[in-house]
Amino acid sequence: MRIQKGLLNSVLNNLLVVVLLLSTVSADAQETKTTTPQVPLVTEQMLLEAQDDVNNWLMYGRDYRSWRYSPLEQINTQNVKKLVPKWAFQTGVPYDKFECTPLVVNGVMYITTPNSHIFAVDARTGEEIWRYDYPLPDDMAICCGMVNRGAAIKDDKVFWVTLDAHLLALDAKTGTVLWDRVVGDHTNAESLTVAPLVVKDKVIVGMSGAEYGIRGSIDAFYADTGEQAWRFYTVPTKDEPGGDTWEGDSWLTGGGSAWVTGSYDPELNLVYWGTGNPAPDWNGDVRKGDNLYTDCIVALDADTGKLAWYFQATPHDVWDWDGVSEPVLIDMDVDGKPVKALVQVNRNGYFYVLDRTNGKFLYAKTYCEVTWSEGLDENGRPIVKPEAWTSEEGTIRVCPGVEGGKNWPPSAYNPQTNMLYFSVLEYCGSYHQDRVFYRKGLPYVGGGMTAEFDGGDRKMSGHISAIDISTGDIKWRHKTKFPNWAGCLTTAGGLVFSGDLEGKFMALDAKTGEVVWDFQTGSGVHAPPITYTVDGVQYIAIASGAVKYEEVNVRNGDTLYVFALFDEGK
Residues carrying an active site annotation: 320
Q: CB atoms < 10 A from the CB of 357, how many?
A: 17
Q: List Cα–Cα distances, 225 to 59, 201, 206, 213, in angstroms.
A: 20, 10, 19, 31
DSSP annotation of 226 reads -
Cα 97 from Cα 489, distance rounded (Å): 19
- Residue 500 phi, psi (nearest 5): -145, 175
Sorted by sequence, the CB contacts under 8 Å of residue 454 that are 6+ apart come out as none
Q: Three-state DSSP class for 45? A: helix
Q: CB atoms < 10 A from the CB of 476, how many?
A: 18
**Intra-chain end-to-end CA distance of the chain, in Å:** 58
C-beta separation of 196 from 218 below 8 A? no
DSSP assignment string, 283-315: -GGGG-S--TTTTEEEEEETTT--EEEEEESST
Sorted by sequence, the CB contacts under 8 Å of residue 5 that are 6+ apart come out as none
Q: For 537-546, b where at least 16 C-beta lie within 10 A, e where not — what string?
A: ebbbbbbbbb
Cα 275 from Cα 384, distance rounded (Å): 20
Q: Alpha helix (H) ranges present in 430-518?
A: none
Per the omega criterion (within 30 degrees of 0), is the bond before 293 cis? yes
Cα 270 from Cα 488, distance rounded (Å): 25
**What is the gyration radius of the CA atoms in the chain, in angstroms?**
25
Residue 454 pairs in a beta bridge with 457
Q: List Cα–Cα distances, 451 to 158, 282, 391, 431, in angstroms.
A: 39, 15, 18, 9
